[in-house]
A and B are shown apart, each in its own frame.
Chain A
Amino acid sequence: MKKIKYLDYYILIPYLLLTCIGILMVYSASSYIALQNFDQAQYYFIRQTIFSIIGFISCFIVFRFRYALLKNKGIVSMAVIGIGIVLYLLLIFGQEKNGAKGWISIGSIGIQPAEFAKIIVILYFSYFFSRKQKELINDYKRTLLTPSILFFALIIFPVMLQPDVGGALIILSIGVTLIFTSGVSYALGLTVGAIGIGSIMGLVGLVYKFGTRLPFLAEYQYNRFLAFWDPFALSQTSGMQLVNSYYALNRGGLFGVGIGGSVQKTGYLPEPYTDFIISIIGEELGLFGILIVLFLIIFLILRIYLIGIRSKDTFGALLCIGIATMLLIQSSINLGGVLGLLPITGVTFPFISYGGSSTIVLAFSIGLVLNVSATDKMDKERMVISKLK
């Protein structure tokens, strides 16, 4: 059986479309700044194109092999311990950008290990839970103890220390979601989820009321909350990004000012080709363009959840649920920031924002999903054939 015949186009096509829109919009959004900083308008465009090609190739490679091979203690242990070591080393040797030591430079290429940590967490939990299904039902507390400790100690903790609170929150959310989709009692999942949402809201309430008098809240973090509540009052400082995001969206209107026509990207809106690329899409392509992008990404997310729900293979199913959740959380935090529904945390939009590590990790993830989907179909067909026989 040729695996390629079982390629899931409902995944592949949205992925390719989003990647192409990403390359195009990175070019449009970055050209002005690239010209200023590098005397070359195509600087980011060329790099993003290369990242996307590398991503596509790795997606294909990941699709080809048997994903069950990943369900291997050696590989998973190496990945988890490896990323743990890298994240700690980062605290010493990492390069600082926007106040966080989150980067390793190899030549002119910057690598962001936290991006890789996301997929490794998904891999690790999927591997672990798929092997401990029975134990999870019988004694979930004991079963969850070891992976939870490892998860916090090796990944969440060093990322927090960078400090990249946003990144840590995303990985934490992915991890927690995976724990409660692992097969433990769904009532427990709902309870913890409700408690989680409740405590976050309580925390925000505390911040609102006490501000920097809270011992754990740094000045710059509090400013993000302030900027979120009333960006126009702080439009020159911490509210500047959100205000200019609104301006970009408003300029776009229904059909946008046309590709290349953004003014907000000319220095008004910081990070126009990474964190705020959606705002620039809104400005240049209008609500129409935004809805297309939203449709593509939610279609992709729902489709991946669906594969996870349908899959008979627990490992594959958990991988898909983890990846879909990662996409959902990351895109939601990004859009929430752009729209003023959440504080701005510096999270990029999947597939579209500029970024090598993120592009490649996402492509790798899509490769996995395509692999799970194709394998699942093949298995079902085999079963049908064997029954027929």
Chain B
Amino acid sequence: MKTKNPLKNRKKMSVLLFFAALIIYVIFAGRFSYIMIKGEVNGENLAKNVNNLYTRSSVLEANRGTIYDVGGDPVAMDATSYSLYAVLTDKWSSKASKPQYVVDKEKTAKVLAQYIAMSEEEILNRLNQDQDQVEFGTAGKNLSYEIKKNIENEKLPGIEFTNTPVRLYPNGVFASHLVGVAQMPTDKNGEAKKGTELTGIMGIEKVYNDLLTGKDGGKEYQKDSFGYVLPNSKVKTTEPKDGSDIYLTLDKRMQVYLESVMSDVYDKYEPKAMTATLMDPKTGAIVAASQRPTFNGTTKEGINQLWQNLLVENTYEPGSTFKVLTLAASINEGVFNPDEWYKSGSVKVADRVIRDVNRNGWGTITYLEGLERSSNVAFVNLAEKMNMDVWKNYLDQFGIGKSTQSGLLNEQKGSNTYKYAAEKATTSFGQGLTVTVFQMMQAFSAVANNGNMMKPQYISKTVDPNTGEEKIIEPEIVGKPISEETARQTREYLKSVVYGEHGTGRRYQIDGYEIAAKTGTAQIVNPETKSYYSGGNNYLYSVVGMAPADDPEYILYITVQQPEITDGSISGGDVVAEVFNPVMKRALEYSHVNEEENANENQVDMPEVTGHSKEDALSLLEETPLDITIIGNGDKVVQQLPLPQEKLIENQKVVLMTNGAMTMPDMSGWSKNDVLKVSEITGIEFVFDGEGYVSSQSLPPEALLSGDEQIKIELQPKSAED
């Protein structure tokens, strides 16, 4: 049926539309109500999603605890390094009035060239690359805060920084294997992983990682889509907790000196390995400890030569220095009579003949002379007099074959199988068993500390910076293997090693102090043939010395493995003495200085001069006994080393950097450490040749430091005796 009336047709259609509109809007109203009241669409909880969308949290990073030396000088500390990059594209700039990309490339290159070690042309080259953003290689990395601030003050659009936490070891080589290393975990490409923190990977940094690592705090707030905090939203903040600080027992003055002496000797004789450990026997505190090979904590230079901490991770046959313990045990047992005679040269134990160094012996001599000459026969006799089971008991009492529980990684306990008669006999002169340096130090402490054996300790206290709570590590007596009188007598007899007519340790005499010592020249097992090396310099040369002999303040124990000696007039013992004598002397002098002056009158606090004009800085430093070097020809100091508040000693080098072009200072006579200060402050790397003090520099004084060319520094030792 067709309606022929257009009006009616129109009305019918319109009425249809009228009701369709009504129905559609009822559906809309229903849908609105559903979404707005039920809060769930497609199975998603809208309210929860919204909360996730708005809530932004940021991490408030906790600082890693600082490691200090015993006097509070930083050994390992947190720092931030900045890396420079330039944004070249304009696609991230939302407003024309605030460009966030490099607008004026020529000007940017010119300004940047004043601050980073890269030429204006090279910077311009990089800025002209067809990339969204560019970096500036090593010249743009590891920038200090001062440099970053200065560049920022130039207000160059598009010049940005990323920052990475770094662990700084301001002293460079400084008991590096003991202190260890902390670094950012890196991914395959060597880039720092995001969301991670500095983590100890070696030494104290690793063992005490949990203590040193703080607890990150956080901020939680509601933000708009641009990341700004919304008005009226509450910010939830959890304060970060910084990690605890660790105060070592190491004394920076002694440690730095020991490291430089070790470096000199290591470079001169190129031994396979060396250790030197200086301990206060009254407390067991390690005052200085060093090993070679070592590495620079900040630059990691040399770290891959050896990851082993030779103080606890390496076991070896100690050789004749071990006779100190045999002597002490036999005195304690009352079987040592210095004036008793015996036949030197060889002694038969079970089916084996044990010989002295001099295979023919020195005839019939007294036991005291046997001690002086380090006669193996004398000590085998003494052990037999004690009875081998009694001697074994002493070995156990001295902690041989037992870990010192230092807590350091991979600490070895050595071995003392003590099975066969010949093997038992050889232990009396330090063969047939293996030990660690820490075990030796611990055992020696009984002799030096009147019978009380002290656990070697490297931490004096830890401080929680959040509460100020200090945890002091008290000295720990771990045994009393010998009596006080025995200890005193042992040291008395050990003096004859140094001062006796036939003493093997005569070269260890130090003017003004009485030294009790025992030398050692131990055979080394060839790891390939499993038998002892024969001849040459294939020995472990060592010495243990205690001074002053009547009431020792220090034990110094040195081992030098397989030095390359070409000069026939020099013996292995001479090499050891090149470390022992200056270090022991310096240690004894320091302790006297401390006693006499109590306060360190020749120490000064480094003032803050950064930000001052050059003239002001110089007048601030005028009164101090410091040696000032200025780099750059500007009129304002922008960086300084050492940092403010550091304690400095007389004539210590202070490097100030001014604005303006950097210039090369005259470095002749400088120590390597001082040259490295310049490296740290300018970011320019130096290549060293030799050890000791600067004898020549490839870039003449006052020449411009561009960072383009390598600067070679030649070092020479000043003299063997400092």
Question: Of B34-42, B179-187, B288-296, B608-616, which stretch is located at the interface?
Answer: B34-42
Contact call B53/A268, Cβ cutoff below 8 A: yes
Question: Does any Cβ of B come within 8 Å of A294's Cβ?
Answer: yes
B7 to A, closest residue via Cβ: A183
B225 to A, closest residue via Cβ: A267
Contact call A250/B46, Cβ cutoff below 8 A: yes
- Counting contact residues on chain A (CB < 8 A from B), the size range is 35 or more
A-B contact pairs, 18 of them (CB 8 A): A137-B5, A180-B13, A186-B13, A232-B42, A232-B49, A243-B49, A247-B50, A250-B46, A250-B47, A252-B36, A263-B222, A267-B225, A298-B21, A298-B22, A321-B10, A328-B17, A328-B24, A341-B31
B1 to A, closest residue via Cβ: A187
Residues of B within 8 A of A266 (CB): 224-226, 230
Q: How far is the CB of A106 from chain B (nearest CB, A)?
A: 23
Instruction: Report the 9 A-B pairs with minimum CB-CB distance, sorted nearest first.
Output: A183-B6, A267-B225, A266-B224, A250-B46, A181-B13, A298-B25, A186-B12, A305-B18, A133-B6
**In the complex, A241→B662 CA distance in Å?**
56
**In the complex, A24→B669 CA distance in Å?**
80
**Number of residues of chain B lying within 8 A (CB) of chain A:** 44
Q: Knowing A185-B3, A251-B50, say if A305 contacts B9 (CB, 8 Å).
A: no
Contact call B21/A301, Cβ cutoff below 8 A: yes
Interface readout for A288-318 with B: 1 if CB under 8 Å, 0 if not?
0011001000100110011011000010011
The residue from A136, A187, A230, A339 contacting B42, defined by CB atoms under 8 A apart: A230
A332 to B, closest residue via Cβ: B24
Question: Does any Cβ of A come within 8 Å of B32's Cβ?
Answer: yes
Residues of B within 8 A of A290 (CB): 29, 32, 36
Interface residues of B in 48-83 (CB under 8 A from A): 49-50, 53-54
Q: How far is the CB of A89 from chain B (nearest CB, A)?
A: 30
The residue from B3, B29, B46, B53 contacting A291, defined by CB atoms under 8 A apart: B29
Question: Does any Cβ of B come within 8 Å of A231's Cβ?
Answer: yes
**In the complex, A237→B33 CA distance in Å?**
26
Contact call A294/B29, Cβ cutoff below 8 A: yes
Interface readout for B213-237 with A: 1 if CB under 8 Å, 0 if not?
0000000001011100010000000
**In the complex, A36→B21 CA distance in Å?**
39
Interface residues of A in 194-212 (CB under 8 A from B): none
Residues of A within 8 A of B24 (CB): 328, 332
SS of A interface (majority): helix
- 7 additional contacts, CB 8 Å, given A181-B10, A186-B9? A187-B2, A190-B16, A263-B54, A287-B32, A305-B14, A314-B6, A324-B17
Contact call A246/B37, Cβ cutoff below 8 A: no
**In the complex, A232→B225 CA distance in Å?**
18
B227 to A, closest residue via Cβ: A267
SS of B interface (majority): helix
Contact residues of A with B, CB < 8 Å?
A: 32, 36, 133-134, 136-137, 177, 180-187, 189-190, 230-232, 243, 246-247, 249-254, 263, 266-268, 282, 286-287, 290-291, 294, 298, 301-302, 305-306, 308-309, 314, 317-318, 321, 324-325, 328, 332, 335-336, 339-341
Q: How far is the CB of B28 from chain A (nearest CB, A)?
A: 5
Question: Does any Cβ of A come within 8 Å of B11's Cβ?
Answer: yes
Residues of B within 8 A of A190 (CB): 16
Residues of B within 8 A of A302 (CB): 18, 21-22
Contact call B17/A305, Cβ cutoff below 8 A: yes
Q: Knowing A246-B35, A287-B37, say if A182 contacts B6 (CB, 8 Å).
A: yes
Question: Does any Cβ of A come within 8 Å of B4's Cβ?
Answer: yes
Contact call B224/A263, Cβ cutoff below 8 A: yes
B39 to A, closest residue via Cβ: A250
**In the complex, A306→B3 CA distance in Å?**
21
Q: Knowing A181-B17, A186-B9, say if A282 contacts B36 (CB, 8 Å).
A: yes
Residues of B within 8 A of A305 (CB): 14, 17-18, 21
The residue from B29, B31, B37 contacting A254, defined by CB atoms under 8 A apart: B37
Contact call A294/B32, Cβ cutoff below 8 A: yes
Residues of B within 8 A of A298 (CB): 21-22, 25
Contact call A253/B12, Cβ cutoff below 8 A: no
**In the complex, A186→B22 CA distance in Å?**
20
Q: How far is the CB of A363 from chain B (nearest CB, A)?
A: 21
Residues of B within 8 A of A325 (CB): 17
Contact call A321/B17, Cβ cutoff below 8 A: yes
Q: Knowing A291-B32, A305-B18, say if A136 contacts B6 (CB, 8 Å).
A: yes
Residues of B within 8 A of A309 (CB): 11, 14-15, 18
**In the complex, A254→B34 CA distance in Å?**
11
A253 to B, closest residue via Cβ: B36
Q: How far is the CB of A210 from chain B (nearest CB, A)?
A: 23
Q: Knowing A246-B46, A263-B54, A263-B224, say if A177 contacts B6 (CB, 8 Å).
A: no
B38 to A, closest residue via Cβ: A250
Residues of B within 8 A of A306 (CB): 18
**In the complex, A309→B11 CA distance in Å?**
5
**In the complex, A318→B53 CA distance in Å?**
49
Contact call A339/B50, Cβ cutoff below 8 A: no
A267 to B, closest residue via Cβ: B225
Residues of A within 8 A of B15 (CB): 309
B44 to A, closest residue via Cβ: A232
**In the complex, A335→B35 CA distance in Å?**
13
**In the complex, A65→B450 CA distance in Å?**
122
**In the complex, A180→B22 CA distance in Å?**
19
Residues of A within 8 A of B226 (CB): 36, 266-267
Residues of B within 8 A of A180 (CB): 13
Residues of B within 8 A of A286 (CB): 36
**In the complex, A336→B32 CA distance in Å?**
10
Q: How far is the CB of B350 from chain A (nearest CB, A)?
A: 83
Q: Knowing A186-B12, A268-B224, say if A294 contacts B25 (CB, 8 Å).
A: yes
Contact call B31/A186, Cβ cutoff below 8 A: no
Q: How far is the CB of A268 from chain B (nearest CB, A)?
A: 5
User: Among B2, B36, B226, which residue has the most Cβ atoms of chain A within 10 A?
Assistant: B36
B224 to A, closest residue via Cβ: A266
Q: How far is the CB of A198 from chain B (nearest CB, A)?
A: 16
Residues of B within 8 A of A249 (CB): 32, 35-36
Residues of A within 8 A of B2 (CB): 185, 187
Interface readout for B649-666 with A: 1 if CB under 8 Å, 0 if not?
000000000000000000
Residues of A within 8 A of B3 (CB): 185-187
**In the complex, A267→B44 CA distance in Å?**
22
Residues of B within 8 A of A136 (CB): 6
Q: How far is the CB of A11 from chain B (nearest CB, A)?
A: 15
Q: How far is the CB of A369 from chain B (nearest CB, A)?
A: 14
Residues of A within 8 A of B17 (CB): 177, 181, 305, 321, 324-325, 328
Q: How far is the CB of B352 from chain A (nearest CB, A)?
A: 81
**In the complex, A340→B29 CA distance in Å?**
13
Residues of A within 8 A of B230 (CB): 263, 266
Interface residues of B in 150-209 (CB under 8 A from A): none
Q: Knowing A267-B224, A298-B22, say if A137 contacts B37 (CB, 8 Å).
A: no
User: Among B2, B9, B12, B37, which residue has the most Cβ atoms of chain A within 10 A?
Assistant: B9
Contact call A247/B49, Cβ cutoff below 8 A: yes
**In the complex, A305→B16 CA distance in Å?**
10
Residues of A within 8 A of B16 (CB): 186, 190
Q: Knowing A232-B42, A232-B44, A268-B224, say if A308 contacts B14 (CB, 8 Å).
A: yes
Q: How far is the CB of B462 from chain A (nearest CB, A)?
A: 47
Contact call B36/A250, Cβ cutoff below 8 A: yes
Residues of B within 8 A of A252 (CB): 36
Q: Knowing A250-B46, A328-B24, say if A137 contacts B11 (CB, 8 Å).
A: no
**In the complex, A301→B20 CA distance in Å?**
11
Q: Knowing A339-B28, A339-B31, A339-B32, say if A246 contacts B6 (CB, 8 Å).
A: no
Q: How far is the CB of B226 from chain A (nearest CB, A)?
A: 6
Residues of A within 8 A of B33 (CB): 287
